[in-house]
Structure 1
Amino acid sequence: MRTGAGAGRSGYVHEAVCYDSDEHLLAVVVPFLLGGVAAGEPTLVSFGERNAALVAAALPPGCPVTFLTGGDVYARPAGAIRAYRTLLADHMVTGAAQIRIVGELGREQLGDSWDWWARYESAINYAYDEYPLWSMCAYDTRATPAAVLADVRRTHPTTAGPRERHTANAEYTGPETFLLENRPEAADPLQRHAPAADVADVAPDAARRIVRAVGEGRVGPAKLDDLTLAVSEIVANAHRYGRPPVRVRVWAADGRVVVTVDDAGPGPKDPFAGLLAAPSERSAGFGLWITHQVCDHVSLQRTPDGFALRMTVGG
């Protein structure tokens, strides 16, 4: 039997914690964790080093809360979804009636790459709904940009507060709508300059050669291999599912390569394309899913002129 906000419910309970002090964070998170322990539910924390230490110090000695390690789980949204789905499935196999997780994104995810992390926060309302999960996502209002906090309210059905308050977010927007909206896209600094390559009507194999020629020596061989694979998949998708012309532009600097692919089509119809595994290698979303696995940032834009996708590797 599920407890707390999950009692009498099925599927995913997804809450935000928007806190303005350490005391505020602990007032929400500690009762949440202790409630899970008391109910015999798997109870986990996925915080950065500072907040993990803060929470650990506030729990009773020996409290059986699991602190997840390995911050690279949040390296990419699609990878995070894949990892958490595996974790949740493993707990269900052992008979868990409910799993509790409190987590946070790093400061770096709240900056220029927030657009795809906003998509992550929206997509998991669907991606985790087959599991009896109750999670809280913590955001420090002292350091989180206002635009990010606005998206937090749109991607979390409720906000958790002290004294076990749970307030519905009137701004909440379902993922089927949110994910098809245009996310505000921060221009990459490299795009302030003319691209090193700008070609139209290019085939996938030619696009690979162009990206490799521009990126050689700019990023490591593994990252360049990943990027050329991603570009090949996206150019193939643009020819197969989009509308001509298909245009590829490449920018590069030491340690970083940016590629955009655009066409005159409407873009993928599936709101979860790229974030959830495609059903097969022949499906329309497979190339986009591969791209989300290997690139360090992926941005999607729908414009009156068509669809554009930007891929970045490197810092």
Structure 2
Amino acid sequence: MRTGRAAGRTGYLHEAVCYGSDEELLAVAVPFLVGGVEAGEPTFVALGERTGGLVRSALPAETKVEFLTGGDVYGRPTAAIRMYRQLLADLVADGATAIRIIGEVPTAGLGPTWDWWARYEAAINHAYDDWPLWSMCAYDTRTVRSSVLADVAATHPCFATADGGQLPSAGYVAPETFLRRERPVLPDPIQAAPPLVELADPTAAQARAAVHGAGQGRLPGDELDDFVVAISEVVTNGLRHGRPPVRFRLWAGADRLVATVSDGGTGPDDPYAGLLPCGDGAPGGLGLWITHQSCNHVAHYRDADGFTLRLTAGRPPLS
């Protein structure tokens, strides 16, 4: 039986915790976690090193909360969804009827790569709704940009408050609506220079060869291999499911590669494409799912010329 504000609910309860002091965070997090443990619910913390340490120190001794390494959980949005869905399925299979988690997007994800974490926050309203999960997503209003907080309001149905209550989010929109919004995609600074490689209607093999050649000495071998796979999938999708011409461009910096693949079409119809495995055979669904797990940032946009995916390997810009 579910307890607290999740009592009587089915599916996912997704709350945000927007706090302005460490004390405010603890006022929400500690009762949430202690309440879960006391009710016999599997209870997890997936916060960063600083905030996770604060919570650990504030919990009563012997509180049986499991601490997940936030940096490992939130490496990439699609990987986080995959991991959590498996965790939730395993817990329910073992008999859990209620689960609690508090987590946070890593600091690096609140900068130029926030767009795909915003998409994550929207998508999980659907992705986790098959399980009896109550989660809180923590955001520090002292450091988080106002534009990020606006997205937090749009992707969380409600806010947890320090007095133990809950406020509905006036800015919340359905995840499908949020995911279909066109978001501005700022160019990576290395895109200010002409591309190192530019190909029209390339084969997947040509694109792979270009990436492999440019990435030597810039990226670790396994990371380069992942990026080659991602580029191959995206180029193949463009050729099979997009509208010609397909255009491939590649930029190389000291610590990263950036590639764009464009075609004259409108892109996938599924708003969850890339974030969730596509089980209905939608065009390109599996390729986009693989791509989102093989890159350190994926952005997309539509304009008068068609649909573009931008993929980054290596270290995305910090600002």
SS at match of 2:257: strand
Report which stretch shifted further, 84-93 or 129-138: 84-93
Match of 2:295 in 1: 295
Give the Cα–Cα distance (whole angstroms) in 1 for the partners of residues 280 and 215 of structure 2: 30
Matched to 2:265, the amino acid is G
Report which stretch shifted further, 190-199 or 281-290: 281-290
8 Å contact kept, 2:27–2:163: yes
Match of 1:47 in 2: 47
Give the Cα–Cα distance (whole angstroms) in 2 for the partners of residues 307 and 40 of structure 1: 48
Match of 2:123 in 1: 123
Give the Cα–Cα distance (whole angstroms) in 2 for the partners of residues 16 and 129 of structure 1: 16
Matched to 1:248, the amino acid is F
Give the Cα–Cα distance (whole angstroms) in 2 for the partners of residues 179 and 270 of structure 1: 9
SS at match of 2:92: helix
SS at match of 1:27: helix
8 Å contact kept, 2:153–2:171: yes
Match of 1:162 in 2: 162
Match of 1:259 in 2: 259
Task: Please state how far the C-alpha of 1:6 moved relative to its aligned partner.
Answer: 1.2
1:268 and 2:268 equivalent? yes
Give the Cα–Cα distance (whole angstroms) in 2 for the partners of residues 154 and 304 of structure 1: 27
Give the Cα–Cα distance (whole angstroms) in 2 for the partners of residues 313 and 281 of structure 1: 27
Give the Cα–Cα distance (whole angstroms) in 1 for the partners of residues 221 and 147 of structure 2: 36
* TM-score computed with the length of structure 2 as normaliser: 0.95
Task: Please state how far the C-alpha of 1:218 moved relative to its aligned partner.
Answer: 2.1
1:221 and 2:234 equivalent? no
Q: Summarize deviations over 1:263-295 as a string: whole Å, max 9, x none.
A: 110000111111112338885211111111111
Matched to 1:124, the amino acid is I
8 Å contact kept, 1:11–1:130: yes
Alignment of 1:123-162 (within 5 A): 123-162=123-162
Give the Cα–Cα distance (whole angstroms) in 2 for the partners of residues 196 and 284 of structure 1: 27
Alignment of 1:151-190 (within 5 A): 151-190=151-190
**Number of matched pairs:** 315
1:238 and 2:271 equivalent? no
8 Å contact kept, 1:219–1:254: no
Task: Please state how far the C-alpha of 1:41 moved relative to its aligned partner.
Answer: 0.9
Alignment of 1:84-99 (within 5 A): 84-99=84-99
8 Å contact kept, 1:280–1:286: no
Task: Please state how far the C-alpha of 1:213 moved relative to its aligned partner.
Answer: 2.4
Task: Please state how far the C-alpha of 1:221 moved relative to its aligned partner.
Answer: 2.4
Match of 1:285 in 2: 285
Q: Summarize deviations over 1:65-102 as a string: whole Å, max 9, x none.
A: 11113622211111000001111111111211110000
Matched to 1:300, the amino acid is H
Matched to 2:300, the amino acid is L
Give the Cα–Cα distance (whole angstroms) in 2 for the partners of residues 152 and 285 of structure 1: 26
Give the Cα–Cα distance (whole angstroms) in 2 for the partners of residues 109 and 201 of structure 1: 33
Match of 1:15 in 2: 15
RMSD in angstroms over aligned alpha carbons?
A: 1.4
Q: Summarize deviations over 1:199-240 as a string: whole Å, max 9, x none.
A: 212121111122222223222222222112111111111111
Q: Summarize deviations over 1:8-33 as a string: whole Å, max 9, x none.
A: 11000000000000111011111111
Identity across aligned pairs (percent)? 57
Q: Give 5+ residue unaligned stretches, structure 1.
A: none
Matched to 1:84, the amino acid is Y
Matched to 2:113, the amino acid is S
Matched to 1:25, the amino acid is L
Give the Cα–Cα distance (whole angstroms) in 1 for the partners of residues 27 and 223 of structure 2: 43
Give the Cα–Cα distance (whole angstroms) in 2 for the partners of residues 250 and 293 of structure 1: 19
Q: Give 5+ residue unaligned stretches, structure 2.
A: none
* TM-score computed with the length of structure 1 as normaliser: 0.96
